[in-house]
Chains A and B, each alone.
Chain A
Amino acid sequence: MNSSSAEGKRRQRFDSLVTVFHQDMYRFAAWLSRDKAIAEDVVQEALLRAWRSLDSLRDDAAAKHWLLTIVRRENARYFERRRLETVDIDNLTASQAALLAETRNEEIDDLREAIFGLDDDYREPLVLQVLMGYSTGEIAEMMGLKQGAVLTRLHRARLKLMDSVAHE
């Protein structure tokens, strides 16, 4: 196989993986950063990094986990590099507020705001479980936690959300 044909196949493989998982990457980045503009930057960086290390992904069945792990790392890098403070709930920027854009369903809007207000420690496992479909074991591995800790965080996150929504 000549190099241009190998490069073409590599690009084709990358494009098809990104097409499938781009939405997950963006939503994960957006809920991690709570900022639509930052989420776009993080996804761009993650795509570049994924492209460079594509050869280390030997099984495409593991691509979602691989890409989301890259997004998670890039999000951490982004905040580390810029030494950004966590979100000030009472003083949101335009791109942070954009995440809370209203839908036609008031209940969903309230819940979205409550999720936005959760601490990172509670919000991340919740997004990974409910939106990405990960098991608590997989979340524990991804976040470097014990499975029990993940279960506790998920339980507390749900209780907080129920409480928030009940008080709306």
Chain B
Amino acid sequence: MTSEQDKKFQALDLKIAKALQIDVPELRMPELPDIAETNVRRLPARKRSMIPVWFALAATVVLATSISLRNSSLFQSYDSLAEEVLAHLDHEPDALRITDVAVSDEQFAHAVPASLVTFDRGTSLITYAQACIINGHSVPHLVIQGQYGPVTILLMSEEHVSEATPIDGVSVKGVILPVGKGSIAIIGDRQEQLEPIQENVVNSVVWTT
């Protein structure tokens, strides 16, 4: 750009700035929902047990079966949600392919049911979408492509965390963010800049449960 044009543009910018300074109406704050209240999950009131003996016996059998299943790797328990999230990544290595092929609308709709959450998929290229089980709840598991490889997103509508919880893996890092009544885990390569992705993802999600 010539210096003459440079000067013209500088003068123009001053005028553009003035032209853009439109009057702003007085701030009208919307009615803000009580966040603390929406995070409280009330337990139903306890009722006196009216269970017949035969049902109690059947329940014992089910309990024994469940304990033996929990000892298998499929139902392994973890000390924290962050640990379970990390372990889940290892269970689904196929999700971490580097690709530029987006998942189909059908696959996306199956993994992200509108009854649970809506996710604006226009913000990023989603290359993997699957409904997975995390801590006993169905969780949409999405993968988008970051600058340093795939970035995993878990939309956990049933898991509330009180504050942002870091996730620290061998080759990955991430965070579990509190979002409304649920939380969202975002995990990527250690070099990945996750902050802009976090903003995009949080702004793209609306819980519908």
Contact = CB atoms under 8 A, between A and B. Distances in A.
A7 interface: yes
Contacts of B8: 162
A6 B36 contact: yes
Contacts of A40: 25, 28
The A contact surface, by secondary structure, is helix
A99 to B, nearest CB: 6
B35 A27 contact: no
Question: Interface size for chain A: under 10, 10 to 19, 20 to 34, or 35 or more residues?
Answer: 35 or more
B199 interface: yes
Nearest to B161: A55
A87 interface: no
Contacts of B200: 69
Nearest to B198: A56
B122 to A, nearest CB: 8
Given A4-B36, A55-B177, A26 B16 contact: no
Contacts of A69: 199-200, 203
B22 to A, nearest CB: 6
A150 interface: no
A55 B9 CA distance: 41
Interface in B161-209: 163-164, 177-180, 195-196, 198-200, 202-204
A69 B180 CA distance: 19
A108 interface: yes
B154 to A, nearest CB: 15
Interface in B1-36: 1, 8-9, 12-13, 15-25, 27-30, 32-36
Interface of A: 3-4, 6-7, 10-11, 14-15, 18-19, 22-23, 26-27, 30-31, 36, 40, 44, 47-49, 51-56, 58, 62, 66, 69-70, 73, 76-77, 99, 101, 105, 107-108, 111-112, 115, 126-127, 130-131, 141, 155, 158, 161-162
21 contacts: A7-B34, A15-B29, A18-B27, A31-B20, A36-B25, A44-B28, A48-B33, A52-B35, A54-B35, A55-B163, A56-B198, A69-B200, A73-B120, A101-B23, A115-B20, A126-B16, A127-B20, A130-B16, A130-B20, A158-B13, A161-B12
